[in-house]
Amino acid sequence: MAERSFKKEVQELRIGEGEIFRGEGILAITKALLQSGVSYVGGYQGSPISHLMDVLADANELLDELDVHFESSASEASAAAMLSASVMYPLRGAVTWKSTAGTNVASDALTNLASGGVTGGTLIILGEDFGEGSSIPQERSHAFAMKSQMWLLDPRPNLESLVNTVEQGFELSEASNTPVMMQVRIRACHVHGEFVAKNNRSPAFKLRDALKTPRRDISRVVLPPASLAQDVEKLEERFPKAIQHIRDAKLNEFFGPKDAEVGIVVQGGLYNSLMRGLLYLGMADAYGETLVPIYVMNVTYPMIDDEVVAFCRDKRAVIMVEEGHPNYIEQSLISVLHRHDITTKVHGKDMLPMGGDYTAAVVEKGVRRFFEKHAVAMLGNHPPAPDPVPILTSKPVMKLAEVVPPRPAGFCTGCPERPIFAAMKLTEKDIGEHHVSGDIGCHIFANLPPFNVSGNTMGYGLSGAGASAFNVKSDKRTISVMGDGGFWHNGLTSSIGNAVFNEHDGVFVIVDNHYAAATGGQDILSSRADNPRRSTQHSIATAVKGMGVKWVRQIDRTYDVSKMRATLTEALTTKETGPKVIIASSECMLNKQRREKPQFRAAVKAGQRMVKERFGVDEDICTGDHACIRLSGCPSLSVKQTDDPLKDDPVAAIDNTCVGCGNCGEVSEAAVLCPSFYRADVIHNPTRWDRFIARFRNAVIGSLQNFADTNRVAFPD
Amino acid sequence: MKALIDHLPGRIHEKPISIAILAMGGQGGGVLADWIVSIAEAQGWAAQSTSVPGVAQRTGATIYYVEMMRPLDGKRPVFSLMPTPGDVDIVLAAEFMEAGRAILRGFVNPAQTVLIASSHRFYAVVEKQVPGNGVGDSMTVIEAAGIAARKIIAFDMQEVAERAGTVVSSALFGALCGAGVLPFGRDVFETAVRASGKGVDASLAAFAQAHDIARANPPAPDVKQGPEKRLPPLPVSAGHSQLDALLKRVRAEFPPHLHPMIYAGLRRLVDYQDPAYAQEYLDRLVSLHSHDRNAGGAAQTYSFTETAAKYLAIGMAYDDVLRVADLKTRASRFRRVKDEVGASASQILYTTEYMHPRMEEIVGFLPASLGSAIENRPRLFKALDRLVNRGRRVRTGTVLWFLSLYTLSRLRRLRRRSLRHGREMAHIAIWLDTALAHLPTDYPLAVEIVRSRRLIKGYSDTHSRGLSKFDQVLAQVPRIAGRPGAAGWLAFMNKAALGDEEGKALDGAIRSFDAEIEGGVRRPALSTP
C-alpha cells in the first residue's frame, strides 16, 4: 500500500441511526453495504470505485466487528467468482469494479453465477466510466444484464437514492434468486451529498455458519441437464418473481401529473440531467416539481411491461431518454407497446444523440424537439435556454481555440516511468523504431507528447499477447510494456506464459511501481511494503522465471537512464531466443512523496541532518532548444522568458515542485544534451564536520572567485 | 400540476448558483470544491459537488462543479452533475489557459458569469517541447474574456499562494470571497478553511491577500507577459580604458538608435572573452554597416546592422566547454543557485553538474593543428573518445572539481587559437557573405538570412541538428532569391525550422515553396507569414 490512510472515512462508516452522513456517493454506497448486513465484499480497484476498496481495506476493525470479510480480489473475474458463496447459502455479498472494462473480465464467472442463480442477495456495483474524461471504450453494461439475465439498477444520482437502492438491490436479488447489478456513473460516484444513516448490521447467517454445514445441490451446477433446467428456471421462475418484486416494491418512480398528452421515460441515472433540461424549458422547478409526467426507470432491466403500458396508454407520444448505444430500452419499449396494440408514438434516439454524455444541454435539446413536435403549447413562453453558440462563434473565442493547449493527464513530477520512456526514445534514435504494444496503466501516457512511443492496448495485462502475432523471424523485435498491476491481473499467464510457450522472441518491459499506482496505490502481490493483512513482496522476477523465462533483467532504479537504455538495447539485439523480460522498478513518486514529505519535515524539525535534493537549470548556459523537455515532459521542468536580448527563445527552468528524481540530469547526460542541469543538495541541520568542511571549501573557492572577479574586465551591471 | 402552478410562477426561473472550477491535478481543486460546499451547508443551504478526477495522475486538466441553493420546505433541489454551457454563474480557473478552456467550453457568458482566474501560466507539454517559442499568448484569453464574461478578476494567485507557502486553491477561495458574488460573509469562508485542519495558517494568509486584491477589484486583468528584454543605453564611461575605447567607437561609428543592441553585443563578448575580442566584433560590424549604408539602409533604419549586431554577438560567443566552465564557477552563479533553491544561511548547499564531454568537444578546444591531427586519425580519435566520452557528475562545490573547472575557464585566453574557433569564424564568414551578397538587391532577404542564425543553438547533438537545419534553410536561399516575397519565404522557413525537432515542419515549408514554384504565380494557401 502507498501508506495512505482512510481512517477518517472509516469513522464516517461507523455513524448510526438518524445521523447525517455527508460525503461522496461511492462512500455512501460503502456505508449502505454495511447497513444491509453484507457478509463479504470483494472487487478490483479502478476509477470510479477505488474509494470503496481503499476505505474497506483500511476498515479492518469495523469489518471484524461486523463479521464482514473483505477481499482485494486479484481481478474482476476473481471478484465475480467470489459471489459463488451466495449460490448455496443465504449470504449477502457485494463486489465492485470499473465497468464495462471489469465486467468484460468478470463475464466468465458472471455467466455461471447467473445461470445457477443465487440464494443470498448478490450485488455487483458497477462504476460506470462513461462519457467525458472516461479512460475506457464507450460501451454499455446493459448488454451484460440482458445476455445473462441479471437485473440492472440505475438509481437516481443522489445519496439517498443510491443508499436505498443498495438495500433494495439485495432484496430484489433474494426475491428472484438472481444476481443484481447496480450501475453508478462516474459523477454520481464522486457526487458530494447527504443522507440519513442507519445502524450497521452484522449478518445473521455468517460465513463461518456456512462452513460448518456445507450444502450441495447438483441442480445449481452448470452441468447437463441442470444447465438447461436453469435456463427454464430463469425464464419461468426468476424472471416473473423479479417483475413482481420490482412492481410491488415500487422500485421505479413516477413524477409529475397523472394525466397529460405526452410523457417522458428516463433512466434513473439521467434524472438530474432531465430535470435541469426541463427547468430550462420552463416545465419544472429546481426542486423537481414538474408539469410533465415522468416515468423514472431505476430498474433499467428488466422492463416492467405493465408499468410501461399504463404510463404510455393514454399519451399521444413519449420520449425515451436513454444514454449510450444501442438503444436497448427504447427498442424494448417499442416492442412492448406494439405487443399491447398501443399506438403511442415513441421517440428517443431519433431526437437525442446516439452516443456521448447526456448532459442537461443535450437532454434539453432533444426534449425540446419532442415538445415542438407533440405538445408545442406546453413550451409556452419559456425563457431562452442557455446558448453558448454566439460566444463560441465570436472571433476572439475562435482565435482562442488555436491558443489553448490540450492538457491531458500525464506522468507526475518525478514519475519513475518517465526515464523508462526517455530511454526507449533514445534507444529508438540509436537502433530504430520498434513495434510497441501497450497495456493499461500510467505507462499509456507514453503515447502522448513528448514521448509519442507505446502502442495500442488490447486490455489489462494483455500487451504481450497483443504482440504475439509478430512472433515471426525478423531482425526487429516487439516491445510490450505492462505495469505490475496488469502483470498480476492477467499478464503473468496471458502475456508472459503465452510468450514462453510459443517461444516469442519479443521484449517485455514490466513497470513495477511497488504497488498498483495508477488506481491509487493499492497493494498487489509484488508490493514492497509489509501489509499485516496481505501477503506481499512476491518478486515479479521470480514469477517470470517460474513461468520459464530465461532472460530476465531487474533494474531497481529506473532513473538510471543510461542503464535502462543499455538494457533495452541488449534485449532488442541479443542472440538469445525466447522472451526477454525487463523489470523496471522504482516507487510511484506521487505516493512516495505523500509518505516521505511529512517524514522529512518532521526529521528536519527534530534537528536531524537531512539532505534535500532538487534540480535547476543555469539559464546562462541553456540555449532554449528544449531537447531536455522533449525527453521528459516533467511538470516541474518548464520554460521561462528571459530578459537577455541575445536570447530569442525561452530557456528551460525548473520550479520548486521538483522532487529531485534526477531524470533531467540523467537524460541530459545519457543523450549528451547540454551541461545546464545541476543538482542542488541542501543540507538541513548540518553536522559540525559538514560545517567545518564547508568552511574550508568556501575559503578556497571563494578566494579563487574573488581573484577572478577582481581581474575580470566587464561592463558595470 | 396544480401544486406546481400554485407556487411556480414566481420560482420557475430560480436556479441553483453554479460554480465551475477548472484546475490541474495537484492544484487543490477538490479541496476548493469541498470548501465551497461546506460554506453553503454551514448556512443551511443544500449543496453538491462533482468531478471526474479520473486516475491518480496529477497533470491533466480537471473540472470540478458545484451547485448550491436553499432547500424549500425541507426539500433538496435536484442538482445537475455537470456544468451547462451558457449557464454557469462563477468560473474559477486555477491557471490562465484553463480560464481560456472554460471560455471554449462555453462556461463563460456575458449575461451572468464572473470569471475569477489566476493569471499565471503553467505551460503544457505541447507549448514547452517546441525547439523555439511555443508558448500560447495570454492576451488571447483576455480578449476572449472581454466579450465572454460579465466580469473578470484575474491576477497572479499562484504567486500569492506561493508567498504564503500554500497552493493556489486558497488564493482562489479568497478571491471568490473578495469578489462578493456569493451571499456569505468572510467569516463563513474562513471557518471553512479552518475546519479543513491542514496548513490552515498558510491557507488563511493566501486567502486574506487574494481577498483584498479581488475586493479592490483591479480594473484591468493583470496578466504577466515575459520580462522586457534588457537593453540599457550606452553608458558614458565604464571606468576602464579598454572598455571606454569600445564605447567611444560605438558612439563614433554607429547611429544612436543602434547603440543599445551593439552595447548588448559588447557586454556579451567582453564577458565571453576580452575587450580585444569585442574590438574584433566592432570591426566586423563596421564593415557590415558600411554595406548597409551603401544598400540604402538608412531608409530601413539600418535594420540589417541591428540584426547583425545581435546575431553576430551570439555567433561569436558560441557555446563551448570553456564558456560552460567559466559560467559554472562564478561567484554570481553560486549566489543565484542559492537564491533559486532558497537555501538559508544555516544550511549548506552543494551543486552537482551533469556533464557529458565527448572527444569532439575536447578536440575543439585543442590548438587547431593538434586538434585536426587527432581528427585525421580516426582510430586514435575513437580510442581517446572511449576514454573521455561518459557522463560526469561534477561536484562544483568541492575543491578539486572546482579547481578543474576553474583552470579550464582560465584557458579561455587560448580559445582563439583553437580548432573550434577557426571553424566558427569560417562559418560566420560564409553566413555573413551570403547575407551581404543579397543586401544590394533584396534588403529584407539579407536581414532574414542574418536571422537564420537563430537556428543554431545548443551543445553536442542539439548543436549539430541546429546546424543542419541552418544549412538546409540557407540552401534554399539561391532558390528563393529574386522572387517576390523572398524574405517572407525565408522567415517562414526559419519559423518552421523551430517548430519541431525532426524538421517535419521545415520540410513542409520547403514543399510549399516547391509548390509555389511549380504553380507559377499562384501562392499557396498558407502563404507567407
The pLDDT tens digits of the residues spanning B46-101 come to 999 998 764 445 678 889 999 999 999 889 999 999 999 999 999 999 999 999 99
B235–A715 CB contact, under 8 Å? yes
* Residue that is written with C-alpha cell 474524461 in the block: A133
- % chain B with pLDDT above 70: 93
The grid coordinates of residue A309 equal: 403500458
Q: Judge whether residue B528 has pLDDT over 70.
A: no
Mean pLDDT of A213-220: 92
Q: Is A618 at the interface with chain B, CB within 8 A? A: yes
pLDDT at B172: 98
A521-530, B88-97, B271-280: range with lowest mean pLDDT: A521-530
A191–B81 CB contact, under 8 Å? yes
Q: Are A450 and A635 in contact (CB under 8 A)?
A: no
pLDDT at B5: 45
Mean pLDDT of A361-390: 92
Helices (H), B167-274: 168-178, 186-196, 200-216, 241-253, 259-272
A273–B82 CB contact, under 8 Å? yes
Partnered with residue B154 across adjacent β-strands are B117
Q: Judge whether residue B4 has pLDDT over 50.
A: no
Total number of residues shown for chain A = 717
Spatial distance between the Cα atoms of A704 and B39, rounded to a whole number of angstroms: 60
> How many CB atoms within 10 Å of residue B156?
20
What single-letter amino acid sits at A616? G
Spatial distance between the Cα atoms of A569 and A491, rounded to a whole number of angstroms: 23
Q: Are A296 and A271 in contact (CB under 8 A)?
A: yes
The pLDDT tens digits of the residues spanning B463-499 come to 988 999 999 999 999 999 999 999 999 999 999 999 9
Task: Suggest the residue from B340, B351, B362, B450 to mutate for an interface test with chain A (most A CBs closer than 10 A).
Answer: B340
Q: Judge whether residue A531 has pLDDT over 60.
A: yes
Facing B56 at nearest CB: one of A519, A614, A670: A519
Q: Is B314 at the interface with chain A, CB within 8 A? A: yes
Q: Are A265 and A346 in contact (CB under 8 A)?
A: no
pLDDT at B2: 39
A95-109, A375-389, A416-430, B125-139: range with lowest mean pLDDT: A375-389
pLDDT at B57: 57
Q: Are B269 and B281 in contact (CB under 8 A)?
A: yes
DSSP secondary structure string for all residues of A649-692: SPEEEE-TT-----HHHHHHHHTT--TTEEEEEEEES--HHHHH
User: Peptide bond preceding B183: is omega within 30 degrees of 0, i.e. cis?
Assistant: no
- Predicted confidence band of residue B11 (pLDDT cuts 50, 70, 90): low
pLDDT at B460: 84
Q: Judge whether residue A83 has pLDDT over 50.
A: yes
Q: Judge whether residue B9 has pLDDT over 60.
A: no
A405–B275 CB contact, under 8 Å? no
- Predicted confidence band of residue A2 (pLDDT cuts 50, 70, 90): low
Q: Judge whether residue A11 has pLDDT over 60.
A: yes
Burial call B441-474: b when 16+ CB within 10 Å, e when fewer: ebbbbbbbbbbbbbbbbbbbebbebbeebbebbb
Residues of B in contact with A620 (CB under 8 A): 327, 333
Strands A180-185 and A151-153: parallel
pLDDT at B299: 96
B353–A686 CB contact, under 8 Å? no
pLDDT at A555: 97
A510-524, B34-48, B263-277, B306-320: range with lowest mean pLDDT: A510-524
DSSP secondary structure string for all residues of A369-387: HHHHHH-HHHHTTPPPPP-
A366-380, A512-526, A575-589, B250-264: range with lowest mean pLDDT: A512-526
Give SS3 for B456: coil
The pLDDT tens digits of the residues spanning B351-394 come to 999 999 899 999 998 999 999 999 999 999 999 999 999 889 99
Spatial distance between the Cα atoms of A296 and A293, rounded to a whole number of angstroms: 10
The pLDDT tens digits of the residues spanning A415-433 come to 999 999 999 999 999 999 9
A409–B462 CB contact, under 8 Å? no
pLDDT at B53: 61
Spatial distance between the Cα atoms of B335 and A326, rounded to a whole number of angstroms: 66
Residues of B in contact with A416 (CB under 8 A): none
Mean pLDDT of B454-470: 90
Helices (H), A117-206: 142-148, 159-176, 186-189
Which domains can be identified in chain B, with CATH numbers? 4-215 (3.40.920.10), 426-529 (no CATH)
C-alpha distances (whole Å) from A566 to each of A139, A423, A447, A563, B436 are: 42, 9, 22, 5, 48
The DSSP 8-state label assigned to residue A534 in this structure reads B
Give the chain B residue whose CA is nearest to the CA of A258.
Answer: B1
Helices (H), A36-100: 50-57, 60-66, 76-82, 85-88
Q: Which residues contact A341 (CB under 8 A, 6 or more apart)?
A: none
B350–A276 CB contact, under 8 Å? no
Q: Judge whether residue B523 has pLDDT over 70.
A: no
Phi-psi region at B377: left, alpha or beta (left = phi > 0; alpha = psi -120 to 50): beta
Q: Is A447 at the interface with chain B, CB within 8 A? A: no
Q: Are A536 and A512 in contact (CB under 8 A)?
A: no
DSSP secondary structure string for all residues of A245-302: HHHHTT-SEEES-S--SEEEEEEGGGHHHHHHHHHHTTSB-TTS-BSS-EEEESEEES
Residues of A in contact with B82 (CB under 8 A): 132, 187, 273, 357, 359-360
> How many CB atoms within 10 Å of residue B327?
21
pLDDT at B3: 41
Residues of A in contact with B81 (CB under 8 A): 157, 185, 187-188, 191, 272-273
CB-hemisphere CA count at 13 Å for A185?
A: 31
Spatial distance between the Cα atoms of A4 and A594, rounded to a whole number of angstroms: 8
Q: Judge whether residue B521 has pLDDT over 70.
A: no
Spatial distance between the Cα atoms of A371 and A379, rounded to a whole number of angstroms: 7
Tell me chain B's radius of gyration from C-alpha atoms.
30
- Predicted confidence band of residue A184 (pLDDT cuts 50, 70, 90): very high
pLDDT at A505: 95
pLDDT at A440: 92
To the nearest whole angstrom, how far is the Cα of A594 from the nearest Cα of chain B? 12
Is the full-model pTM beyond 0.80? yes
Q: Judge whether residue B504 has pLDDT over 80.
A: yes
To the nearest whole angstrom, how far is the Cα of B477 from the nearest Cα of chain A? 22
Task: Suggest the residue from B224, B314, B341, B398 to mutate for an interface test with chain A (most A CBs closer than 10 A).
Answer: B341
Mean pLDDT of B134-148: 94
pLDDT at A47: 86
> Residues 451..480 of B with a Cβ closer than 8 Å to A: which?
454, 457-462, 466
- Predicted confidence band of residue B118 (pLDDT cuts 50, 70, 90): very high
The pLDDT tens digits of the residues spanning A268-315 come to 999 999 999 999 999 999 999 999 999 999 999 999 999 999 999 999
